[in-house]
Amino acid sequence: MKEIIEGFMDLVKERNGHEPEFLQAVEEVAETVIPYIVQHDIYHGKNILLRMAEPERAITFRVCWVDDSGEIQVNRGYRIQMNSAIGPYKGGLRFHPTVNMSILKFLAFEQVFKNSLTTLPMGGGKGGSDFDPKGKSDNEIMRFCHAFMSELFRHIGPNTDIPAGDIGVGAREIGFLFGMYKKLRNEFTGVLTGKGMSWGGSLIRPEATGYGTVYFAQNMLEVKGDSFEGKKVVISGSGNVAQFAAEKALQLGAKVLTLSDSSGYIYDEDGIDADKLKYVMHLKNEERGRISEYVNEYPNAKFVKGKTPWEIKCDIALPCATQNELNEEDAQTLIDNGCICISEGANMPSTKEAVHTFHKAKILFAPGKASNAGGVATSGLEMTQNSLRYKWTREEVDNKLKEIMADIHQSCIEYGTEEDGYIDYVKGANIAGFVKVADAMLAQGIV
């Protein structure tokens, strides 16, 4: 089996040797899905995973815009249309200086499996730009978003490809992007998700990724007869996903100890309660400040510069910042400190070695493509409401989100339970996500 997987990876490396994040994502899937393919005749010999590892289309384009000092800026825009076997391409846009082909292809590849797991009819895609929104004025953000959409609009549409937010793209950016799309097409359609509540957005979409990550962890804990009540929770990031993961963990009776950004983490021994979280949301979403400013407001807390929060003793860890933010050493520290459950809010935050360390210790570990799928699932619910020209209540959307997370958890159990009863959620998510897309691809022939 090892040789078959290596042989497959050699083929993928030949074409994508210079894309480490993409290779990491493909290898993790190959390790769990290839043994399944070999055991199932309908998939065997069809090069189905090799087809899934090649984007259907990868677009790059120039984005020129004028900054506040009158200088002309040039950025690169991307959209990776990875797989449309089960529905139109769907996935977020990331604006961050580290954005490149490797990162977007890894995200688009993960998205295909994630979207399949949601039970909704969505293919996978991802896009973005190396544009850095930090320190830019609202007008600069608007000019950039308009310039970006003035090219992207010709490649997307409500039945073709439906982008949404990701790192650096929130409600403000989606507004500017939607405005330019609508102007160019002269159409008011559900072409983007994460829209504002008065113009087609869905209630609970802002909360959905963070809430879903916690619902998934809740499902995992329930299998062990456990819950969030009284648990110490360590969270990384302080953006959209981290904020709402913290909110839901608090509502379920947990104590949240940390939040972070790329400069370091804050540790509040007394717990980040609802009032303090409200301050964080204002600081990050309105003031666009840094998480270190928390200690000016709450001097009992400390800011640890340049480090990640995994060294803080906890029961539950929720990595909600970015890829590869939790390495093997961090994983071992978490285990040694008694952590029992890791639910990934970010995409691929744990390195390959970290995941192996969690598995070796047989603790609860949920990969992002399962545990953070609540965001895109609720985007799917936004698309449904747009098509119906209707709006569901908060409770209706939240209940559907909970149901979807429970369904994903069940799929992981179905495909990931080992002989000794340990649930390998990585294997479960990869195989369950694969089966639906592969079946659709087989039915549609070689296209």
| CA angle (8, 415, 444) in 5-degree steps | 60
Q: Does 235 help bind ligand NDP (rule: CB under 6 A)?
A: no
Q: Does 237 help bind ligand NDP (rule: CB under 6 A)?
A: yes
Quick one: 326 exposed, middle or buried, by C-beta within 10 A (0-12, 13-18, 19+)? buried
Can you tell me the distance from the alpha carbon of 426 to that of 408, in angstroms, rounded to the nearest whole number? 12
Contact partner at residue 237 from ligand 2IT, ligand NDP, none, CB < 5 to 8 Å by partner kind: ligand NDP
CB-nearer residue toward ligand NDP: 77 or 345: 345
Question: Cβ 193 to ligand 2IT, closest distance in Å?
Answer: 5
Q: Which of residues 285-304 bind ligand NDP (CB under 6 A)?
A: none
CB-nearer residue toward ligand 2IT: 90 or 255: 90
Task: Output the six-digit token pair for 102.
Answer: 């490797």
Q: Across the strands, what pairs with 259?
A: 266
Considering the candidates 90, 105, 114, 126, report the single residue annotated as catalytic: 126
> Binding marks (x or -) toward ligand NDP, 185..214, rule CB under 6 A?
------------------------x-----
* CB 430, CB 113: distance < 8 Å: yes
Can you tell me the distance from the alpha carbon of 445 to that of 429, in angstroms, rounded to the nearest whole number? 25
Q: Which of residues 158-177 bind ligand 2IT (CB under 6 A)?
A: 164, 166
Can you tell me the distance from the alpha carbon of 354 to that of 334, in angstroms, rounded to the nearest whole number? 10
Q: Does 166 help bind ligand NDP (rule: CB under 6 A)?
A: yes
Q: Across the strands, what pairs with 342?
A: 317, 365
One DSSP character per residue, 235-302 reads: EE--SHHHHHHHHHHHHTT-EEEEEEETTEEEE-TT---HHHHHHHHIIIIIS---GGGHHHH-TTSE
* CB 25, CB 52: distance < 8 Å: no
Q: Does 320 help bind ligand NDP (rule: CB under 6 A)?
A: yes
Q: Across the strands, what pairs with 265?
A: 260, 304
**In the set 88, 239, 309, 416, which binds ligand NDP (CB under 6 A)?**
239
Q: Does 331 help bind ligand 2IT (rule: CB under 6 A)?
A: no
CB-nearer residue toward ligand NDP: 17 or 135: 135
Dihedral sign (CA 408, 236, 24, 364): negative
> Binding marks (x or -) toward ligand 2IT, 426..445, rule CB under 6 A?
--------------------
Taking the CA atoms of residue 100, residue 121, residue 347 and residue 357 in that order, the dihedral angle to the nearest 10 degrees is: -130
Q: Does 346 help bind ligand NDP (rule: CB under 6 A)?
A: yes
Q: Which of residues 180-199 bind ligand 2IT (CB under 6 A)?
A: 193
**In the set 168, 175, 380, 433, which binds ligand NDP (CB under 6 A)?**
168
Report the first-to-last Cα separation within the chain, whole angstroms.
Answer: 28
Question: Cβ 170 to ligand NDP, closest distance in Å?
Answer: 6
> Binding marks (x or -) toward ligand NDP, 243..262, rule CB under 6 A?
------------------xx
Contact partner at residue 91 from ligand 2IT, ligand NDP, none, CB < 5 to 8 Å by partner kind: ligand 2IT
Q: Beta strands 255-261 and 316-319: pairing type?
A: unpaired
Can you tell me the distance from the alpha carbon of 421 to that of 228, in angstroms, rounded to the nearest whole number? 22
Q: Which stretch binds ligand 2IT (CB under 6 A): 13-21, 174-182, 214-222, 372-380?
A: 372-380
Residue nearest to ligand NDP (CB): 239
Q: Does 167 help bind ligand NDP (rule: CB under 6 A)?
A: yes
CB-nearer residue toward ligand NDP: 201 or 239: 239
φ/ψ bin of 89: left (φ > 0), alpha (ψ from -120 to 50), beta (otherwise): beta
Question: Cβ 379 to ligand 2IT, closest distance in Å?
Answer: 3
> Binding marks (x or -) toward ligand 2IT, 55..94, rule CB under 6 A?
-----------------------------------xxx--
Q: Which stretch binds ligand 2IT (CB under 6 A): 40-48, 140-148, 213-221, 374-382?
A: 374-382
* CB 181, CB 154: distance < 8 Å: no
Q: Is 114 a catalytic residue?
A: no
CB-nearer residue toward ligand 2IT: 149 or 334: 149
Q: What share of the chain is helix, strand, coil (3-state, %, to 5)?
A: 50, 15, 30
Q: Mind telling me the catalytic residues?
A: 126
Contact positions toward ligand NDP, by CB under 6 A? 165-168, 170, 209, 237-242, 261-263, 320-322, 325, 345-347, 372, 375
